[in-house]
Amino acid sequence: MKKLTALTTTALAAAVALALTGCGGQANSSTASKAADFPKAGSTIEWIVPSAAGAGNDILARIVAPVMQEDLGANIKVVNKEGGSQVVGLNYVANAKADGLTFGNTNIPSILGRYLDPSKKAAFDRSSFTPIGSFATNSVVIGVNKDSKYKSIKELFDAVKAEPGKITVGTDSRAGDDHINLRLLENQLGLDFNIVHYNSGADKVAAIVSGETDFALGGVSSFFGQYKAGDIKLLTVVENDPSPFAPEVPTMKSAGYDVEPMASNFALSVPAKTPKEVVARLEAALKKATETPAVQEKLKGAATAPAWKSSSDVAKLWEERENTIKPVIDELLQQK
């Protein structure tokens, strides 16, 4: 009898283990799906999220995927492929079969820092992907501790000018969006910050709440909780229009600084050679999901603004941003 208990326990454990790893693995349709009947009913599409479960990208993917899935009549499986600061996941998408059954987050500008830096060994560049669209944007803001002596962006930047290289600012990672955006600011406004790198957006925010750093720059969603709670004061939004999540925070422009908008776009892409009809089908499904009120509600709940950009608009934006950011990354590389 005891032996039986032991065996059932082991069997149960085995079953759960298999379920946990999702033993199906990836869908492997051997026949190239014809564009006309894409996607085949019941087929599985992988949405590759190149970051960890629970990260911003992941949350948004899990909000959007179910609605796309319904429209396409195929399963969409959100797969987290973490590692190599997103390069592992993005390599996977770039090298996937161009049948529309694999797409992934190619957020702009994040992805630029991955392939413009040759040391990252990315097996892709802009030409490796065809965008299917972008479903949301995250405005970039600058925040300080609630007790900071800097009451406005002008006071902060004046202090930076008075003491170049002394005012500290935290980033979520080296050569990530924050770092690149800070360098853009430095170049465009002739400023010099003391840039300190943290390991995550959360650590960067903690350093502002504790007062370890003087200010921080990042997407409005990363500061949202602390901003709402009053622990962090937002000085400016680096955008032409105020953010709906912090409507009373002045824009950079209104403060008299001529800085290009920095908002990040949650863009999705398939491998470049994917048939046009397949891209169009995915684009239509993503657009429909973006415009679904329930999705919009949930995106707003995550302090991310739902905003539709078509495949061609994303392609254009991608090229423009690459042109702006490439010199900054080249400069970063030379500093090593």
Partner 1 sequence: MGFDQLLGGLATVFTPEHLLFALLGCVLGMLVGVLPGFGPAAAVSLLIPVTFGLDATSAIIMLAAILYGAAYGGTTTAVLLRIPGEASSIATTLDGYQMAKKGRGGPALVIAALASFVGGLIGVIGFVVVAPFSRLALEFGAPELFLVSLLGFALITSFAGSNPAKALLSAAAGLAIATVGVDSGVGIARFTFDMPELFDGVGLVAVVMGVFGLSEVLGQAQKGPLGVPSPLKVARLLPTRTDLQRSALPSLRGSVIGFFMGLLPGSPGAATSLASYAAEKKLSRRRSEFGKGAVEGIAGPEAANNALAVSSMIPLFTLGIPTSATVAIMAGAFTMNGLIPGPLLFRDNPDVAWAIIASLIVGNLILLILNVPLARVWIAVLKVPFHYLMAAILAFMFLGTYSINGSPFDILIMLGAGVLGYVFQLVKVPLTPLVLGLILGPMLEENFQRSLALSLGDYGVFMEGPISLTLIGVIVVAILFGAVRPLIASMLKKKSHIPVAPKELAK
| Adjacent-strand bridge partners of 144 | 215, 233
Size, binding site for partner 1 by CB under 8 A = 71
Q: Cβ of residue 73: shortest distance to partner 1, in angstroms?
A: 18
By CB under 8 A, residue 70 contacts partner 1: no
Q: Find the binder of partner 1 among 225, 244, 256, 327 (CB under 8 A).
A: 225
Q: Are 252 and 153 in contact (CB under 8 A)?
A: yes
Residues 71-90 that bind partner 1 (CB under 8 A): 78-85, 87-88
In angstroms, the Cα distances linking 53 to 60, 77, 228 are 11, 13, 25
By CB under 8 A, residue 20 contacts partner 1: yes
**Which segment (52-60, 97-105, 233-241, 273-281) binds partner 1 by CB under 8 A?**
52-60
Site string for partner 1, 312-331 (x = CB under 8 A): --------------------
Comparing CB distances to partner 1, the nearer of 88 and 189 is: 88
Q: Find the binder of partner 1 among 33, 35, 40, 55 (CB under 8 A).
A: 55
In this structure, is the dihedral angle defined by the CA atoms of residues 193, 199, 201 and 206, taken in order, positive or negative? negative
Question: Is the previous residue joined to 39 through a cis bond, with omega within 30 degrees of 0?
Answer: yes
Q: Find the binder of partner 1 among 18, 24, 241, 319 (CB under 8 A).
A: 18
Q: Are 63 and 286 in contact (CB under 8 A)?
A: no
By CB under 8 A, residue 203 contacts partner 1: yes
Residues 251-270 that bind partner 1 (CB under 8 A): none
Q: Cβ of residue 334: shortest distance to partner 1, in angstroms?
A: 12
Q: Are 144 and 215 in contact (CB under 8 A)?
A: yes
Both structure tokens of 299: 């995106």
Q: Cβ of residue 269: shortest distance to partner 1, in angstroms?
A: 18
Dihedral over alpha carbons 189, 219, 103, 81 (to 10 degrees): 110
How far apart are alpha carbons 97 and 28 in whole angstroms? 10
Site string for partner 1, 111-140 (x = CB under 8 A): --------xxxx------------------
Q: Please list, in sequence order, all residues whose beta carbon lies within 8 angstroms of the beta carbon of residue 320, skipping any fewer than 6 positions away.
A: none
